[in-house]
């Protein structure tokens, strides 16, 4: 959470900082601010509460001069989102922006108070500025003062610092939160992610854990956690910048839902080799799943639900026991890791703090650490033995959509490879299943062409206060994902349940005010779902049944709202049924007028625990 940007340039920094912050707004958007060193050497700043446009408006009337600057878009952790608590935080000659949490800030604040330094905000970040300014007051040069400051901090952070009187200096540090350094022509940049720097440069170095970077226009010196001058690799990005364009859609989320056929096609093609007769799954070539007695799958939020689906797939097809957990629980419960276990971490951003911490727990214990990520340069990817990219393309909307289906596609292919390694599936069956998977993008494309009935149902849904999503088997995690999607962007309370659990409690909630969405493709569990449907209809629930033609026909006219889905290979239904639940959430949110792409209190990349 929180986006950081820094520029040591040759042009006025303020407009460039604001433009770059727009590309980081997905990390937090409750307030923002920038600071520059003006030509006479003093530091000035502008900060505003709310979205970045508020800061932009302020800068029209109160412009900020200077060619070196830092900027920040905030997701509040300490102190409410007001202007006082917005970054950059200044103290004496120092200005700081920070992403992360300084865990010992209260203790440090107390020490600083005793030394006569008075905090003016509720934030942990201000402590960094105060500490550094104290060291400068004691006679230390900025670099030395910054080093001494970092030694006193515990917690996780990415930091950028400016110093009054120093127009050619910026100091950055990484410990737990990502930072990338960008190289320009006699200019240098800093960003929480490389994509924010893309319009300025494609030449990037990622800082590593414990790194301290001293930037001047001429270049950067990077020191590792032991203080040794180190050389970190330079990478050249090959992405374009036009993914920040909504391409005629009203929201990024809508665009990303509709991008799924193309994203899936890319994801699938990148792991299938078509040259031979049959299908060759081209992933984890060096790993033989025959030698893997157990798999653990760890993730957070939507990515966790993708793992949940994969558990059903892997256990059924490859016959390997699978344990799944959410990162925040796994990291603290100290689970024993059985010898030979493959530990797999799924994350769109590759930066989720809890998933990363869980990964680090498994290093040295699991046989292999595999990550399934959308950002191949992310911390989770860099700390894994093997990386499977999902190739979804940048996902800007805070609610995950195309990343979910692409995670599912890669997890499914991995399952097939595991089943193949363990001789649990015949070559003919593999070829048939892969061919079904390959035809999915075109099926989904067709499906997305006619979503009117979903819009009508969503508009009705948007007036509800509570919604239940029910599913069995592979549809259970999809029901969980449906409830998450709806609550996060439409703010309607919703729960996902295994339909079989209904009688064990949730049925008490049912009356005519609670819409119930039932995900029930016509498979071996269909009849059981229909029984549950009758039970809730008998209690006056307003049911929407999502099923295929055959399923809807056999359910009959008792159900008023229906969403017809194309018929596919039963194993692949999660990739198909993900679409209507995304669309239901999207259209409900649009109907309620919420901020679809940047829902309240959320951020795209959760880099704090
Ligand atoms: C929900 C959503 C979140 C993320 C979760 C994990 O729509 O986007 O629940 O799935 O924060 O994020 P990643 O996948 O980046 O680790």
Mean pLDDT by 10 residues, the chain (609 residues): 94 96 88 94 96 95 97 90 95 95 93 94 95 97 97 93 97 92 97 89 92 97 96 84 75 95 94 73 94 98 98 98 97 94 97 95 97 93 96 94 98 97 95 94 90 90 96 98 98 97 93 96 95 94 96 92 96 98 97 94 82
For ligand 1, atom 11, which residue shows the shortest CA distance? 301
Nearest one of 24, 23, 493 to 245, comparing CA atoms: 23
Is 377 a pocket residue for ligand 1 (Cβ < 6 Å)? no
Please tell me the predicted confidence (pLDDT) of residue 72: 97
| CA-407 nearest atom, ligand 1 | 14
**Integer angstrom CA distances of residue 322 from 64, 156, 328, 598:** 55, 31, 18, 34
- List all residues 6 or more positions away from 574 whose beta carbon is below 8 Å from its beta carbon: 309, 408, 474, 475, 477, 478
The question of whether 604 is a catalytic residue gets the answer yes
The pTM score is 0.84
- List all residues 6 or more positions away from 147 whose beta carbon is below 8 Å from its beta carbon: 212, 227
Residue 542 and residue 517: Cα distance in Å, rounded?
A: 9
Alpha helices in 422-474 (DSSP H): 427-448, 452-461
Token pair 């608590």 in the structure block, residue: 85
Tokens of 111: 């020490």
Which of 300, 356, 589 for mutating ligand 1's site (highest number of atoms within 8 Å of CB)? 300
Is 489 a pocket residue for ligand 1 (Cβ < 6 Å)? no
Is the torsion defined by CA of 562, 567, 570, 575 positive or negative?
A: negative
Please tell me the predicted confidence (pLDDT) of residue 451: 82
Distance from the alpha carbon of residue 353 to the mean position of ligand 1, in angstroms: 11
Is 145 a pocket residue for ligand 1 (Cβ < 6 Å)? no
Residue 121 and residue 89: Cα distance in Å, rounded?
A: 9
Is 127 a pocket residue for ligand 1 (Cβ < 6 Å)? no
Peptide bond into 88 cis (omega under 30): yes
Distance from the alpha carbon of residue 320 to the mean position of ligand 1, in angstroms: 26
| CA-349 nearest atom, ligand 1 | 15
Is 347 a pocket residue for ligand 1 (Cβ < 6 Å)? yes
Is the torsion defined by CA of 596, 600, 602, 604 positive or negative?
A: positive
């Amino acid at each position: 959470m929180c986006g950081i940007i820094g520029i040591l340039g040759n042009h006025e920094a303020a407009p460039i900082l604001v433009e770059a912050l727009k590309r980081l707004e997905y990390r937090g958007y409750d307030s923002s601010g920038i600071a520059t060193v003006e030509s006479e050497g003093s530091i000035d700043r502008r900060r505003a509460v709310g979205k970045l446009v508020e800061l932009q408006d302020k800068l029209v009337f109160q412009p900020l001069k200077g060619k070196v600057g830092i900027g920040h878009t905030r997701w509040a952790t300490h102190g409410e989102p007001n202007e006082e608590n917005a970054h950059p935080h200044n103290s004496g000659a120092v200005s700081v922006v920070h992403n992360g949490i300084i865990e010992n800030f209260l203790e440090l604040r107390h020490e600083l108070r005793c030394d006569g330094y008075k905090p003016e905000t509720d934030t942990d970040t201000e402590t960094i500025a105060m500490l550094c300014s104290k060291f400068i007051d004691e006679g230390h040069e900025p670099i030395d003062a910054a080093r001494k400051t970092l030694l006193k901090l515990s917690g996780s952070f990415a930091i950028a610092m400016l110093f009054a009187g120093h127009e050619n200096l910026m100091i950055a540090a990484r410990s737990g939160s990502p930072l990338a350094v960008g190289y320009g022509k006699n200019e240098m940049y800093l960003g929480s992610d490389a994509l924010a720097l893309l319009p300025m440069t494609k030449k990037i170095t990622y800082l590593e854990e414990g790194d301290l970077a001293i930037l001047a226009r001429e270049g950067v010196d990077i020191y590792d956690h032991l203080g040794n001058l180190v050389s970190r690799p330079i990478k050249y990005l090959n992405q374009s910048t036009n993914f920040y364009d909504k391409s005629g859609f009203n929201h990024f989320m809508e665009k990303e839902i509709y991008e799924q056929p193309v994203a899936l096609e890319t994801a699938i093609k990148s792991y299938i080799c078509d040259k031979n007769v049959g299908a060759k799954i081209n992933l984890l070539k060096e790993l033989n799943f025959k030698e893997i007695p157990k798999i653990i799958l760890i993730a957070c939020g939507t990515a966790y639900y993708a793992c949940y689906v994969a558990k059903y797939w892997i256990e059924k097809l490859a016959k390997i026991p699978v344990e799944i957990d959410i990162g925040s629980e796994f990291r603290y419960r100290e689970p024993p890791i059985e010898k030979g276990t493959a530990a797999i971490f799924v994350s769109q951003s590759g930066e989720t703090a809890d998933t990363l911490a869980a990964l680090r727990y498994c290093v040295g214990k699991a046989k292999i650490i595999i990550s399934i990520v959308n950002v191949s340069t992310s911390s989770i990817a860099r700390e894994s033995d093997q990386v499977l990219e999902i190739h979804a393309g940048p996902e800007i909307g805070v609610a995950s959509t195309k990343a979910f289906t692409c995670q599912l596609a890669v997890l499914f292919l991995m399952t097939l490879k595991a089943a193949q390694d363990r001789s649990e599936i015949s070559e003919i069956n593999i070829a048939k299943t892969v061919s079904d998977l390959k035809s999915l993008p075109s099926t989904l494309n067709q499906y997305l062409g006619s979503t009117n009935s979903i819009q009508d149902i969503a508009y009705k849904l948007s007036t509800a206060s509570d919604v239940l999503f029910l599913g069995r088997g592979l549809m259970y995690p999809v029901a969980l994902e449906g409830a998450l999607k709806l609550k996060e962007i439409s703010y309607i309370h919703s729960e996902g349940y295994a339909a079989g659990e209904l009688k064990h409690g949730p049925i008490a909630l049912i009356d005519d005010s609670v819409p119930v969405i039932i995900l029930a493709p016509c498979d071996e569990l269909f009849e059981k779902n229909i029984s549950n449907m009758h039970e809730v209809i008998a209690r006056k629930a307003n049911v929407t049944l999502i099923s295929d033609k055959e399923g809807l026909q056999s359910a009959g006219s008792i159900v008023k709202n229906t969403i017809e889905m194309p018929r596919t290979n039963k194993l692949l239904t999660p990739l198909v049924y993900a679409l209507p639940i995304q669309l239901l959430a999207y259209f409900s949110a649009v109907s309620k007028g919420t901020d679809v792409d940047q829902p309240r209190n959320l951020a795209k990349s959760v880099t704090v625990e």
